[in-house]
Amino acid sequence: MRKDNVTIRTLKFYHSFNKKYFPTSFLHIVFSSISPYFNLWMSSEIVTALYEGRGKQAIFTLVAITLFGNLFVHVVGALLSNAVNLQFEKLNSNESLAFNKKTLSLDYDKLEDPEIRTLRRKIKENGYINNYGIVQMRETFNLLIASVVKVVFSLIFFIEMTTKIIAVGFHWLGLVFLVGMIFFAVLKNVWMHKFGIKRSAHWRKVGDMMLQENKLGRGTQSNGMDSRIYLQSNIIRKLDEKTNRDHLKAFAEGDAFDFKMGVPNSILGWTSTLFNYLLVCFYCAIGAFPVGNVIKYTGYLERFMTDLTTLIAVPLRAFKENEQFLKLYLEYFDIPNDMYQGSLTVEKRSDKKYDIEFRNVSFKYAGSENYALKNVSLTFKVGERLAVVGMNGSGKTTFIKLMCRLYDPTDGEIYMNDFNVRKYDYRQYLDLFSVVFQDYSLLALPLGNNVSSAATWDGEKAEQCLREVGFGERYAEMAKRLETPIYKDFDDEGVNVSGGEAQKIALARALYKDAPFIILDEPTAALDPIAEAEIYAKFDEIVGDKTAIYISHRLSSCRFCDKIAVFDNGEIVQVGSHEELLSDENGKYYELWTAQAQYYTK
C-alpha cells in the first residue's frame, strides 16, 4: 500500500467519483451557517433598541429585516440542500459502481481468495454497522468545513468585541475569565481525544464480531429444511442466545465508553460556557458595549469555542480514528492483477485448429499446502471429444479452470498450437471457450441477454440455439419471446424458470458464443443418469466439429467420447477410450464403473 496520507488520498479518490459534490456541499454549509449568526446579530440589535427606547418603526424595521433575512437564507439553503442531495446520489452511485467494477476486474484467483472476500465484506459491513470508512470520512470532512466556516464567522465578531474591550482597557479579572474559558475548552478537547481512540478500538472489535454474527445468520437462514428435519432449532437458538449476549455486552461496553467520555465532556463544556458569560457580562458591566450585545457576544464566543474545539479535534481524532478503516478501503482498490495478459494475437482459424497440451502441470490454491493438481500431462486435438471423470474433489474442475486461464499453473506449462497460453492476449484467449460450469447462473434480465451475454442479441441465432438445446416448447409459451425477463427481481412480469429450463438456457448461451472449445462441467449433475446421458449425447451432435470437453462423475454419460481422462487425487491416472479403460480390471476407471454399474444391474 502507498505511503502517502491515507485520509488525503482516499478523499481525492472519493472526490473523483463526482467532482461537483464537495463544492456544492461547501455552498450549502456557508448558507446554513449564516442563519444563527444573523439571528444573534439581529436579536442583539432588537434588545439594544428596546433598552434604549427607540421608536416602534425602528423596532419593526429590525424585526422585518430579521424575518425576511431568515426567509432568504432558508430558501437558498433549501435549494442548495436539494442540489447537495442530487450530487450525493451521483457520488454514491459512482462509488458503488467503481467498487463493483474493481470486484469484477480482479483476477479470478483473487476473486476467489478467502482473505480478499473477507476484506470486501469488512469494508461493507464496517460501513453498515458503525459508518466507518468513506461514510465517516465524508461526514467528518463536511464537519471540518462547517467548523472552518463557523470559526471564520465567529472570529469576525470576536475581533469586533475585542476592539471594544481594548477601547475601555484590559482588566485582570477579564483576563482570568478569558483564560478560564480557553483552558476548559482545551481540556475538553484533550479528554475527547483520549477516550475517542479507545472508543474507536472498541467499535472496531464490535465490527469484527458483527462479521461473525452475520456469517452465523447466513448459515442458519440457508438450512431451513435441515433445521426442521433434524430438529436443529435448539442448537441454533443456543447459538443465537450466545451471540445476543456477546452483542449486548459489547454494546453495553460501548455505551459505558460514551458515558465516561460524555459526563466529564459536558462538565468541562459547561464550565467553559460559564467563563464565557462571566467575561462578556463583566465587560458589559464596565461599559465596553450595550446590554443587547451580551446576547450577541456570548453566542458568538460559545460558537467560536465549540467550533474551534471541533476544528482542532477533527483532524486529530475523527480522521485518525477512521484511518484504519480507510486503509482497508484503499487496500482493496490497490489489489494488483498479477496475471500476465499476454500480447500474442490468437489466430482466428476457420478450421478451428487449436491443439492444447498440458505439460507436467501442478497447481495449489492460495493458502493451501496441498496440490489440487499434480504433474498433469495431457494432449487433445481439434474436434476431439474428451471426457474428464473421477470422484468429487479429484481435480476435474481445477483442470478446466487452468485450461481457461482462470488460474495460472503453480508449476508446469500449458501450450496451445506450440505457444505457452500465457503469451496469448488474455481476452482473445478466453474467447476460445464456451463453458457451462456446474454452478452456472442466469441474470435477472431478458432471455435474449442471457443467451447472448451482451446488451444486444441476434434474434434468429438466439432462437435457433434455444431450439437446439430443447427449449423450443417453453420458448413458444413466452409472449415476449427474447424480451421475456428471467425471474422477477426487477420485473413483476418476469418468468421463473425451473432448474432444467435454466440448464437449457445456459447450454444455449454456450452455443451462441460459437467458440472453438465447448466445455460442460457437470451442469446436469442434478439430473438422473439417463437424462444426463441424453443431454450430453444431444449436445454432442450439436457441437459439430468443435472440440468438446465433458466433465462428469457419472461414467455412463460420456461413453461416446474419443478419449477419457481419469482423475484421482489431483492426478491423471488413466487415459483412453471407454473400451480400453474398461478392459483394465486393475484400473481406477474399472473400479468406478463397477461401483456405479452395480446399482443399475442388480
- Whichever domain contains 385, its CATH number is 3.40.50.300
Task: Check whether 48 has a pLDDT greater than 80.
Answer: no
Query: Each residue of 435-457: pLDDT tens digit?
Result: 888 777 877 788 888 888 888 88
Mean pLDDT of the chain: 78
Gap between the Cα atoms of 518 and 520, Å rounded? 7
What's the pLDDT band for 24 if we cut at 50, 70, 90? very high
CB 400 within 8 A of CB 373: no
343: left (phi over 0), alpha (psi -120 to 50) or beta: alpha
Q: Provide the pLDDT for residue 20.
A: 92
CA atoms within 13 A on the CB side of 509: 25
Gap between the Cα atoms of 422 and 426, Å rounded? 8
Query: Each residue of 225-250: pLDDT tens digit?
Result: 565 565 556 666 676 677 667 767 77
The residue among 373, 423, 426, 367 whose CA lies nearest residue 395 is 373
Alpha-helical regions (H) of 16-55 = 21-52
**Number of domains, the chain:** 3
Residues 531 and 484 in one domain: no
Task: Check whether 600 has a pLDDT greater than 60.
Answer: no
- Residue that is written with C-alpha cell 461514510 in the block: 135
Residues 326 and 371 in one domain: no
CA dihedral 201, 206, 207, 209 (to 10 degrees): 130
375-411 b/e with 16+ CB inside 10 Å = b?
ebebebebbbbbbbbbeeebbbbbbbbbbbbbbbbee
Show which of 514, 531, 556 is a domain's final residue: 514
C-alpha cell read off for 428: 482473445
Residues 397 and 416 in one domain: yes
Task: Check whether 532 has a pLDDT greater than 70.
Answer: no
> For residue 77, what are the CA distances in angstroms to 20, 22, 465?
17, 15, 58
Residues 489 and 587 in one domain: no
For residue 379, tell me if it sits in a domain: yes
Residues 499 and 571 in one domain: no
Name which residue leads in pLDDT, 215 or 87: 87
For residue 312, tell me if it sits in a domain: yes
Gap between the Cα atoms of 557 and 564, Å rounded? 11
Q: What SS3 class is residue 354?
A: coil
- Residue that is written with C-alpha cell 471540518 in the block: 144
Q: Provide the pLDDT for residue 228.
A: 58
For residue 216, tell me if it sits in a domain: yes
421-437 b/e with 16+ CB inside 10 Å = b?
bbebebeebeebbbbbb
C-alpha cell read off for 179: 483564560
Helix (H) or strand (E) holding 111: helix 108-111
Gap between the Cα atoms of 549 and 598, Å rounded? 26
Gap between the Cα atoms of 83 and 63, Å rounded? 30
For residue 344, tell me if it sits in a domain: no
533-537, long-range: CB within 8 Å, 24+ apart, which pairs?
533/557, 535/470, 535/503, 535/507, 536/560
Percent of the chain's residues with pLDDT above 70: 79
Task: Check whether 216 has a pLDDT greater than 60.
Answer: no
For residue 339, tell me if it sits in a domain: no
Q: What SS3 class is residue 393?
A: coil
Gap between the Cα atoms of 529 and 580, Å rounded? 22
- Residue that is written with C-alpha cell 467575561 in the block: 279
What's the pLDDT band for 418 if we cut at 50, 70, 90? confident
Residues 452 and 421 in one domain: no
For residue 538, tell me if it sits in a domain: yes
Query: DSSP states of 465-513 as a string?
Result: HHHHTT-HHHHHT-TTGGGPBBSSSS-TT-BPPPHHHHHHHHHHHHHHH
Task: Check whether 1 has a pLDDT greater than 80.
Answer: no
Which of 88-97, 153-162, 277-286 is most confident?
88-97
Q: How far apart are the first and last CA of the chain?
A: 64
CB 482 within 8 A of CB 462: yes
What's the pLDDT band for 421 if we cut at 50, 70, 90? confident
What's the pLDDT band for 404 if we cut at 50, 70, 90? confident
Show which of 483, 514, 545 is a domain's final residue: 514
Quote the domain boundaries for residue 153. 6-333
CATH number at residue 277: 1.20.1560
Residues 493 and 423 in one domain: no
Residues 247 and 203 in one domain: yes
Residues 169 and 40 in one domain: yes
Show which of 306, 333, 360 is a domain's final residue: 333
> For residue 167, what are the CA distances in angstroms to 31, 161, 396?
33, 10, 91
Q: Provide the pLDDT for residue 172.
A: 73
Gap between the Cα atoms of 538 and 548, Å rounded? 13
Residues 498 and 556 in one domain: no
CA 92 to chain centre: 12
Specify which residues 495 forms β-bridges with: 486
For residue 394, tell me if it sits in a domain: yes
What are the E-state strand segments in 62-107? none
> For residue 329, what are the CA distances in angstroms to 88, 322, 326, 367?
19, 11, 5, 22
Q: What SS3 class is residue 365?
A: coil
Residues 509 and 522 in one domain: no
What's the pLDDT band for 347 if we cut at 50, 70, 90? confident
Query: Each residue of 104-157: pLDDT tens digit?
Result: 888 887 887 778 888 888 888 777 666 778 888 888 888 888 888 888 877 777
- Residue that is written with C-alpha cell 474545539 in the block: 309
Query: Each residue of 252-275: pLDDT tens digit?
Result: 766 676 666 667 777 777 777 777
C-alpha cell read off for 453: 451475454
Query: Each residue of 464-496: pLDDT tens digit?
Result: 888 887 777 787 877 788 888 887 777 777 778
Query: Each residue of 53-102: pLDDT tens digit?
Result: 777 788 788 788 888 887 888 888 888 888 989 999 999 889 888 888 88
Residues 541 and 457 in one domain: no
Which of 101-115, 232-246, 345-359, 527-541 is most confident?
101-115
Name the residue type at position 557: S
Percent of the chain's residues with pLDDT above 90: 2
Gap between the Cα atoms of 317 and 197, Å rounded? 7
For residue 52, tell me if it sits in a domain: yes
Gap between the Cα atoms of 461 and 245, Å rounded? 59
